[in-house]
Amino acid sequence: MQGKGGAVSSCLILRFCSNQTEVSRAGFVCSKKVAKKAVARNKIKRRLREMARALWPNVKAGYDLVFIAKLGIADKDFAEIKASVENLLKKARLLK
């Protein structure tokens, strides 16, 4: 079992560490540098939450995950962001 790590894509950063519990948890970060308006930041975080929710049954238990939005994510459509989230989880070997 791996302890800490991360993975990077063109529009997202994934940081994770083991949490010594039976469940995995996720957090989502979108700074003002990525999207100036709160409405845009919240839209990005809503999209990330929805993608994580769809993939959650396949994520290994016992990890804390943080998805950090990068510049340019606001220009991506839903399918591109979903593919990025899935690729990050595969890179990090967090999918069952």
Asked whether residue 17 is domain-assigned, the answer is yes
Q: What is the pLDDT of residue 4?
A: 84
User: Based on the structure, what is the number of domains in the chain?
Assistant: 1
Asked whether residue 50 is domain-assigned, the answer is yes
pTM, two decimals, is: 0.89
Over the Cα atoms of the chain, what is R_g?
13
What are the two backbone dihedrals, phi and then psi, of residue 68, each rounded to the nearest 5 degrees? -115, 120
Asked whether residue 21 is domain-assigned, the answer is yes
Find the domain containing 60 and state its range: 4-91
Assess whether pLDDT exceeds 60 at residue 13.
yes
| pLDDT band of 23, cuts 50, 70, 90 | very high
- Alpha-carbon gap, residue 57 to 35, rounded angstroms: 30
- Alpha-carbon gap, residue 43 to 63, rounded angstroms: 25
Assess whether pLDDT exceeds 80 at residue 21.
yes
Residues 44-82 pLDDT 10s: 999 999 998 999 999 999 999 999 999 999 999 999 999
CATH number of the structural domain spanning residue 17: 3.30.230.10
